[in-house]
């Protein structure tokens, strides 16, 4: 970690290294300096990355919402909200920032440089600040590309993991608690060419089979079938069609 007392050449090298990592070259280098500057390394808090973080958080949320809306046309509002909360979380932003190697590029005050590692919150802050800096420097298109490149994979992970496994986990807990058994998932039909098959799967608990659901792969179909079963067990209409 380095303090703000860099030489001019040292700062220039750091900015160039950051631009290479994020694959974007700034017209206004002051925006990049501000994005990398923690309040501890700034002459005044207004020159730190806090204001950029505020703007970047809003831009990230808007782009992710639009991305989810178009990528998952069959997801209900609640599903989309859960996915968004995972994707734009501080943990995800810090993870992406760490993967980009932002820790060694941050401009920190001397007090912060004595810490063995940068807190995750600072890594999340700099990622959001970079989004805003790119947006202010180059407009919507490069900011959107940056977000889609680095957050897009996190969307897929969230949709295939945290969100989906939650429904199956909830159904399993309910089935074990209420019926003393675990759900089974029955493949009822499939259609489409080999490279783009869709699958129709139903969840079954004991002798009770619940409304099946189609999915673009077996995992997604099982997730939706579990959601249908949970809804029916709660006396609600199944959210996913079996047609």
Q: How many residues are listed for the chain in this entry?
A: 243
The string of DSSP letters for 119-185 reads: -HHHHHHHHHHHHHHHHHHH-HHHHHHHHHHHHHHHHHHHHHTHHHHHHHHHHHHHHHHHHSS--EE
94 touches 121 (CB < 8 A): yes
Catalytic residue, candidates 53, 79, 125, 128 = 128
Catalytic residue, candidates 57, 154, 220, 222 = 57
38 touches 107 (CB < 8 A): yes
HSE-CB of 193 using CA atoms within 13 angstroms: 2
Separation CA 106–CA 98 (nearest Å):
11
Long-range contacts at 211-217 (CB < 8 A, ≥ 24 apart): 211/238, 211/240, 211/242, 212/186, 212/188, 212/242, 213/238, 213/240, 213/241, 213/242, 214/240, 214/241, 214/242
57 has catalytic annotation: yes
128 has catalytic annotation: yes
Neighbours of 150 (CB within 10 A): 21
User: CA-CA distances (angstroms) from residue 188 to 82, 191, 199, 220, 226?
Assistant: 28, 11, 8, 14, 15
As annotated, the active-site residues are: 57, 128
């Amino acid at each position: 970690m380095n303090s703000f007392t860099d030489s001019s050449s040292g700062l220039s090298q750091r900015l160039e290294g950051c631009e290479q990592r994020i694959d974007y070259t700034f017209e206004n280098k002051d925006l990049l300096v501000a994005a990398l500057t923690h309040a501890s390394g700034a002459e005044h808090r207004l020159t730190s990355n806090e204001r950029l973080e505020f703007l970047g958080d809003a831009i990230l949320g808007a782009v992710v919402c639009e991305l989810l809306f178009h990528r998952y046309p069959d997801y209900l509002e609640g599903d989309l909200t859960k996915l968004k909360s995972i994707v734009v979380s501080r943990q995800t932003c810090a993870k992406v920032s760490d993967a980009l190697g932002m820790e060694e590029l941050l401009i920190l005050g001397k007090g912060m440089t004595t810490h063995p590692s940068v807190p995750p919150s600072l890594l999340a802050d700099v990622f959001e600040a970079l989004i805003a800096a790119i947006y202010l420097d180059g407009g919507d298109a490069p900011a959107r590309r940056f977000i889609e490149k680095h957050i897009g994979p996190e969307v897929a992970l969230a949709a295939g993991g945290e969100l989906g496994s939650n429904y199956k986990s909830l159904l399993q807990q309910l089935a074990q608690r209420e019926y003393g058994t675990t759900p089974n998932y029955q493949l009822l039909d499939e259609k489409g060419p080999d490279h783009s098959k869709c699958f129709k799967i139903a969840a079954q608990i004991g002798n009770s089979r619940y409304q099946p659901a189609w999915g673009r792969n077996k995992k997604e179909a099982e997730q939706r079938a579990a959601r249908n079963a949970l809804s029916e067990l709660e006396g609600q209409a199944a959210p996913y069609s079996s047609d």
